[in-house]
Structure 1
Amino acid sequence: MSALFPLIPIKLLFIGLTVYIWTQLIKRGTALNQPRVSRFMLGFALLSVVLSVISVGKIYPYGAVTDLLVFAAATSLFMALQMRTLAGRFLGLLIIAIPLLGPLAYLLHYQVVGGAMNKDSFIAVFQTTSTEASEYLASFTSVMSLIPLLLATALLIWIVKHNVGSERKTLPIKTAATYVLLAVLMIALAPLEKGLFTYPVDVYVSYQQEMTTTKERMAQFSERNINKDYRISKEGQGEIYVVVVGESLNKHHMGIYGYELDTTPNLQRLKDEGNLFVADNSFSNYPGTMAALSHALTAANQKNNKHYTQSLGIVELMNEAGFVTHWLGNQPLSNSYDMILGLIAKEAQDVQLTFDIEFHSMSHKDHQPDGVLLPLYEQILAQRDAGKNQVIFVHLMGNHTDYCERYPEEYKRYEVSPMDALYSHIFKGGLGHSRECYDNSILYNDHVVSTLVDDLQSALGEEGIGGLIYFADHSEDIERGVGHSSANFSFDMVESPTLIWLSEAYQQHNTDKTAALRHNLGQYYPNDFIFDTVIGMSGSRMEGSSYCSSCDLFSFDYDLPLENARTMHGKLAYKPLKAPSSAIAVTGK
């Protein structure tokens, strides 16, 4: 279609035609002694222009020509349906209101997230519950951000009040037919250029196509239609390895990464003892839980460009290596849109979740703090078969919004001042994503993770061989207070930590692996290399294309220079960030 009208003058012609139609509609309203109709048409015309200007002003990826054409078509049909009957007037109002749904959806998304909607926006909607969505909106929707929505609502109320039910004369048939013809013409020409009215629909269609493909691939994954071009084996017995999956943790808010507040005192203690290793330049492969973990927990990564549904899962692989596998989770697995994580987790021989509530009726507030996992973890360690190797996967709620709900009262060390609290409620949507609550949640996360290490160390004793790796799925943009939506991407959203603890016996028994780890700690490390690093840490010997030694921190083959480091599933070059120079004023307890 665009090839038929390549000339800019053609677009300008139809913009002029749109303006002309609006002028005639206003004149027609006056001629019919309907000043209310004139105000009505003028109001909607101005609203359409404002929406178009906003779409361009926000660096929206499409132009505004279609916006003008589609809206003019709707107004033409509305005028053609100026009937005396109440039903006719409601029908006209409906016709002119429908084109506004896309712009209103976009503006609401922009006000909450700060960026244009994309496929990830729809994925986030379908991965959430109604109660979780309400928490998210409460945390990220400020009073100021609601003003445009309130104004739009007021305008619609004004339109209904001043037009539905008012006396009108019916337009002449010829005039009505002319408007209908113009509307059909403009709608036919709308594909010339996509705009604000049509983009949300385009995104949704693209999302549905991708989900259909993904579900087909996941069916193959669950049926194990994966070429077995590998061999894996494991020597030794009685070893214990723990893989801890964190949530929404920004490493620049961790004291162990240089943050000025002491948010990780226990992890710092473990580091000072010499057995905890910090990957200084770690980052996430994607700013979303399922997108990140689908690569972290499978063989898919930025080097091999495999799709995760056609890649081996780490739990399945540990089973084949002879490990007894456990999965402890404080997050749900049952939603169909996060099926890949459920498939991976349920490969474990022992799966224990901290809730029995159906996914669609639960909120993140229904979760207990992550400490609820500790008794289950300690029970596994106490009852393990000392003659078998063990791998325990621990999936934390971590630092997910609402941050203030992620920790018990006794970990409320940092408090927001009354003035900052007032400012946050007006301009930032409340305290649910405040820096203070976030730092408190990290302080509690420090307690949980360090306890996992201490319990493991006690279970192993002085002679036991084992290790623990902690990583977060993604980070949060705390400085801007916008969470981790890819629609408003910043590199803060992928600044996630990776920590590794090794028993002294492990280090003595695996001197080469330990030396390689120490050598690689300063390298750039994305969490889509976790799969390979767990294989290396566990001492498993694997042959085949699914294992990447240059992705394994326990191998001297590890190699990822900054110029090759990428995020967003390999689509974006990674740019490391420095820790914030200072935190806002807090009151320490």
Structure 2
Amino acid sequence: MAVLPIALARISLTSPIFLIPTIIAVLWILTYPTIYFISNHKVSSDFEFHFEAVFGLYFVAWISSLGIFAQQASWLSIPATIFLSLAELIMLAIPVAQLIYYALYKACINENGMEMIQETHYNEIIEYIKSMPLLLNITVIISSIILATAITYANYNELKVTAPLDTISLSIVAIIAIFLSSYLWKKKHGVFIRTAIVEFYLDVKEYLATNLQYTQNMQERISKLQVTTLDKSTKPHTILLIIGESESRDYMKAFNKDYPLETTPWLSEMEQSKNFILFPNAFSIGANTVLAVSNALTESNQYNDKKFYESCSIIDIAHATGYKVHWYSNQGHLGSADTPVTLIANTADVAKWTKQELNQVQYDESLLPYLQELDPTQNNFLVVHLKGSHFNFSNCYPRNFTKFGTPGKYELEANYANSIAYTDSVLEQIFNYAKDNLNMQAMVYFSDHATVPDKRRSPNFEGLASVRIPFFTYFTVH
């Protein structure tokens, strides 16, 4: 079927109607299976069956048959050129994206990678692009424009030439075009949706959709929740939970005395106080924010089979014990349908995110004014979600705060150390304000996960260094 349309029309194999979709088909047929084999053959001989090869062959027949049909009437040349060129460019982009993913992470894309992509905020995409060399960005843009122009031009030159077919041949080509237009793209059991990359996308999309049930099931969860209050004090107070980002205790002087840079002067001083407890052996459940925070804040974890959307959260517990819950975040509001972390946050009495502007960096100190909204005459449970040491590290602290390396210079470990030192400073300011103004009774801090600054972050687990997190607590002494 792949070659029957061009055989009936007696079209040359070098014709863009056949050559362009064939190149794209070869990429589809080879890219995912090859990368999957390279990534997994040492640990597993099992291979799931996907439809990349089938899709590639049928894509050639589909484009060719549509192109041949368009050649029968000159008025179809322009709309057919636009449609076929767009279809080819979109289908070309998918295997190319997989190749880029492999080049970045040295691994085949899987559900974890697809989840990371779908949950990525547009500001993180812009941040990542800005971190790349300017020359590379310009080259990619210019190359993409040239490629799109070349495909469109080649298609137009071929399709504007009228090449009438005999009735029987044209009928067969039309049948193939109609059949493949349905069989390739239908929503259920179509070939396209049975390719690996699309299956991953749809599986993750379905997973994220089920998280919406978290909000819908909230009343039922809370009705079954039984909480015993240990502290019988009637004095209004505040309990403070601060969530860091990508901070590794290996680079924090308070936790790692052998680290040469003093990245935590405030915490190192507070460590001497009997009110502070530092936990030197804390680990995150995983190396991405959504997995780590959603498990940290709910009863769902790696030891049970409880679904996230069925699990009570620490916010539910705070509500059950009479606390007014405030959630302030510098992570960017992704929307209630996008991430479990946002779903948890939206159950707070007050949930606010710092204003995320394109091309404008928002430092964690911008969260400090929000603390003034809390009423010290009532019981408050306050969650502060920091940007912390999120890549790009140099954008996590003001340039005038630079303590290590050269201000404005791209130096991964120095930038990372500066971001940790800045977080230490922000923690000090939050702590002092809450202690002086909010009758703070307890403070808990942990990072969602860790990172290794000079190693590209991967959606796959790559060792304990990516989950070795700081965790400390503060309690007042009565």
The two structures share one fold, judged by TM-score above 0.5? yes
Tell me, what secondary structure is at the counterpart of 2:15? Answer: helix
Residue-by-residue CA offset, 1:488-518 (whole Å, 9 max, x unaligned):
5534684252322334726xxxxxxxxxxxx
Contact 1:474-1:495 at 8 Å conserved across structures: yes
Unaligned residue ranges in structure 2 (runs of 5+): 38-47
Q: Kindly tell me: are residues 40 and 281 of structure 1, through their superposed partners in 2, closer, same or farther at Cα, counting changes over 3 Å? A: farther
Tell me, what secondary structure is at the counterpart of 1:481? Answer: coil
Equivalence map 1:312-391=2 (5 Å): 312-323=312-323, 325-333=325-333, 335-338=335-338, 340-342=340-342, 344-345=344-345, 348=348, 351=350, 353=352, 355=354, 357=355, 362-363=356-357, 366=360, 368-374=362-368, 376-377=370-371, 384-385=376-377, 390-391=380-381
Task: Tell me which residue corresponds to 1:232.
Answer: 228
Task: Tell me which residue corresponds to 1:277.
Answer: 277
Letter in 2 for 1:159: I
- Give distance in 2, aligned partners of 1:173 and 1:180: 10
Letter in 1 for 2:248: N
Letter in 2 for 1:169: A
Q: Kindly tell me: are residues 56 and 493 of structure 1, through their superposed partners in 2, closer, same or farther at Cα, counting changes over 3 Å? A: farther
Task: Tell me which residue corresponds to 2:33.
Answer: 56
Q: How far off is 1:244 after superposition?
A: 0.7
Q: How far off is 1:396 after superposition?
A: 1.7
Task: Tell me which residue corresponds to 2:207.
Answer: 210
Task: Tell me which residue corresponds to 1:498.
Answer: 470
Please provide the CA RMSD for this pair: 4.3
Q: Kindly tell me: are residues 262 and 28 of structure 1, through their superposed partners in 2, closer, same or farther at Cα, counting changes over 3 Å? A: farther
The range that moved more, 152-161 or 305-314, is 152-161
- Give distance in 2, aligned partners of 1:320 and 1:122: 36
Q: Kindly tell me: are residues 189 and 236 of structure 1, through their superposed partners in 2, closer, same or farther at Cα, counting changes over 3 Å? A: closer
Q: Kindly tell me: are residues 352 and 212 of structure 1, through their superposed partners in 2, closer, same or farther at Cα, counting changes over 3 Å? A: closer
Letter in 2 for 1:66: V
Q: How far off is 1:139 after superposition?
A: 3.2
- Give distance in 2, aligned partners of 1:366 and 1:148: 24
Q: How far off is 1:40 after superposition?
A: 5.8
Q: How far off is 1:412 after superposition?
A: 1.7
Letter in 2 for 1:205: L
Tell me, what secondary structure is at the counterpart of 2:383? Answer: strand
Task: Tell me which residue corresponds to 2:295.
Answer: 295
Letter in 1 for 2:65: L
Residue-by-residue CA offset, 1:526-581 (whole Å, 9 max, x unaligned):
xxxxxxxxxxxxxxxxxxxxxxxxxxxxxxxxxxxxxxxxxxxxxxxxxxxxxxxx
- Give distance in 1, aligned partners of 2:388 and 2:146: 41
- Give distance in 1, aligned partners of 2:191 and 2:330: 43
- Give distance in 2, aligned partners of 1:230 and 1:450: 35
Q: How far off is 1:443 after superposition?
A: 1.4
Q: Kindly tell me: are residues 371 and 99 of structure 1, through their superposed partners in 2, closer, same or farther at Cα, counting changes over 3 Å? A: same
Q: How far off is 1:445 after superposition?
A: 0.5
- Give distance in 2, aligned partners of 1:308 and 1:389: 27
Task: Tell me which residue corresponds to 2:245.
Answer: 247
Letter in 2 for 1:28: R
Contact 1:467-1:500 at 8 Å conserved across structures: no
Q: Determine if the alignment matches structure 1 residue 170 to structure 2 residue 164.
A: yes
Tell me, what secondary structure is at the counterpart of 1:363? Answer: coil
Task: Tell me which residue corresponds to 2:10.
Answer: 28
Give the TM-score normalised by structure 2: 0.76
Contact 1:86-1:165 at 8 Å conserved across structures: no
Contact 2:283-2:468 at 8 Å conserved across structures: yes
Q: How far off is 1:472 after superposition?
A: 1.8
Q: Kindly tell me: are residues 412 and 184 of structure 1, through their superposed partners in 2, closer, same or farther at Cα, counting changes over 3 Å? A: same
Q: Kindly tell me: are residues 352 and 231 of structure 1, through their superposed partners in 2, closer, same or farther at Cα, counting changes over 3 Å? A: closer
- Give distance in 2, aligned partners of 1:368 and 1:269: 28
Letter in 2 for 1:442: I
Residue-by-residue CA offset, 1:455-510 (whole Å, 9 max, x unaligned):
556679xxx9943211122334533324x5x3x5534684252322334726xxxx
- Give distance in 2, aligned partners of 1:187 and 1:396: 48
Query: Alignment partner for residue 436 of structure 1, among 414, 427, 443?
Result: 414
Q: How far off is 1:104 after superposition?
A: 0.8
Q: Determine if the alignment matches structure 1 residue 76 to structure 2 residue 64.
A: yes
- Give distance in 2, aligned partners of 1:68 and 1:354: 45
Contact 1:73-1:187 at 8 Å conserved across structures: no
- Give distance in 2, aligned partners of 1:148 and 1:341: 34
Q: Determine if the alignment matches structure 1 residue 479 to structure 2 residue 467.
A: no
Q: Kindly tell me: are residues 434 and 94 of structure 1, through their superposed partners in 2, closer, same or farther at Cα, counting changes over 3 Å? A: farther
Q: Kindly tell me: are residues 492 and 76 of structure 1, through their superposed partners in 2, closer, same or farther at Cα, counting changes over 3 Å? A: farther
Task: Tell me which residue corresponds to 1:66.
Answer: 54
Contact 1:135-1:402 at 8 Å conserved across structures: yes
Q: Kindly tell me: are residues 163 and 105 of structure 1, through their superposed partners in 2, closer, same or farther at Cα, counting changes over 3 Å? A: closer
- Give distance in 2, aligned partners of 1:300 and 1:217: 12
Contact 2:404-2:414 at 8 Å conserved across structures: yes
Contact 1:284-1:495 at 8 Å conserved across structures: yes
- Give distance in 1, aligned partners of 2:138 and 2:287: 26
- Give distance in 2, aligned partners of 1:266 and 1:444: 11
- Give distance in 2, aligned partners of 1:160 and 1:83: 19
Q: How far off is 1:217 after superposition?
A: 4.0
Contact 2:368-2:430 at 8 Å conserved across structures: yes
Task: Tell me which residue corresponds to 2:384.
Answer: 394
Residue-by-residue CA offset, 1:316-353 (whole Å, 9 max, x unaligned):
3123334454444334557122575455445555x374
- Give distance in 2, aligned partners of 1:79 and 1:368: 50
- Give distance in 1, aligned partners of 2:137 and 2:312: 44
Contact 1:327-1:392 at 8 Å conserved across structures: yes
Letter in 2 for 1:448: V
Alignment size in residue pairs = 454
Q: How far off is 1:85 after superposition?
A: 0.9
Letter in 2 for 1:203: F
Contact 1:127-1:338 at 8 Å conserved across structures: yes
Equivalence map 1:485-524=2 (5 Å): 486=459, 488-491=460-463, 494-503=466-475, 505=477
- Give distance in 2, aligned partners of 1:104 and 1:196: 16
- Give distance in 2, aligned partners of 1:339 and 1:38: 46
Tell me, what secondary structure is at the counterpart of 1:392? Answer: strand
Task: Tell me which residue corresponds to 2:19.
Answer: 42
